[in-house]
Amino acid sequence: MMKKFLTSREAADYLAISEDEIKVLSDNKRIPVYRIGGIYTRFKVDDLETYRRKGVTRDNRKHAENTIDSIRDFLYFNDFYIFSAIAVIVILYFIFK
Q: Where are the domains of the chain?
A: 1-64, 65-97
Contact 7, 15 (CB under 8 A): no
The architecture of the domain spanning 1-64 is Orthogonal Bundle (1.10)
Give the pLDDT confidence score for residue 2 in this predicted structure.
56
> Tens digits of per-residue pLDDT, 26-56?
888 888 888 887 788 899 988 888 888 886 5
Instruction: Identify the residue with better confidence: 53 or 92.
Output: 92
Contact 33, 42 (CB under 8 A): yes
Q: Is the pLDDT of residue 84 over 80?
A: yes
* DSSP E strands, 1-97: 5-6, 34-36, 40-44
